[in-house]
Amino acid sequence: MFCPQCGAENPQGASTCASCGQSLQEVAPQAQPRGYAAVQPTSSMALVSLFLGILGWVALPLIGSILAVIFGHAAIREIDRSGDQLSGRGMAQIGLILGYAALGLQVLGVVLFFVLPALGCGFCSVCGALGAVVEGRA
């Protein structure tokens, strides 16, 4: 307990201040000085999702993107169930965005380079050449 007159710290339950003699019984208990706020731990799955999302764009396109999506959803579920005890929702969401965007571009690439030439779209010489190979004309 702190003395309201001199600010000296006194043991709990003391009736007078050991420093100045002020009565401590009439004084309402004061809050202790504030320390640093506790740091909220980050979800490890959110970190993994972010890392794999980046890796899906740089080194492992298919595997990294799929795992980024899986870990991102698992991290958000873990954060929701923790009752505000875990942080990292933003990292998990960025991992999900990176994973889904990379998967979308990969599907678009498959469509552009394999499906459209087989249909003979004729957009460019690549499609025409690939279409001829697929159809057996080359």
Hey, where are the domains in the chain? Answer: 44-110
Are 85 and 41 spatial neighbours (Cβ–Cβ below 8 Å)? yes
Which range has the worst mean pLDDT, 60-64, 69-73, 106-110, 126-130? Answer: 126-130
Whole-number mean pLDDT of the chain? Answer: 81
State the Cα–Cα distance between residues 46 and 40, nearest whole angstrom.
14
- Tokens for 116, please give them: 């459209």
pLDDT, position 92: 96
State the Cα–Cα distance between residues 94 and 114, nearest whole angstrom.
30
* Alpha helices (runs of H) in 24-88, residue ranges in sequence order: 44-58, 61-81
Which has more pLDDT, 16 or 99? 99
DSSP H or E segment with residue 131:
helix 125-135
- Say what the pTM is: 0.59
Question: Which residues have C-beta within 8 Å of that of residue 47, sequence separation ≥ 6?
Answer: 88, 91
pLDDT tens for each residue of 12-38: 778 788 888 777 775 455 555 566 767
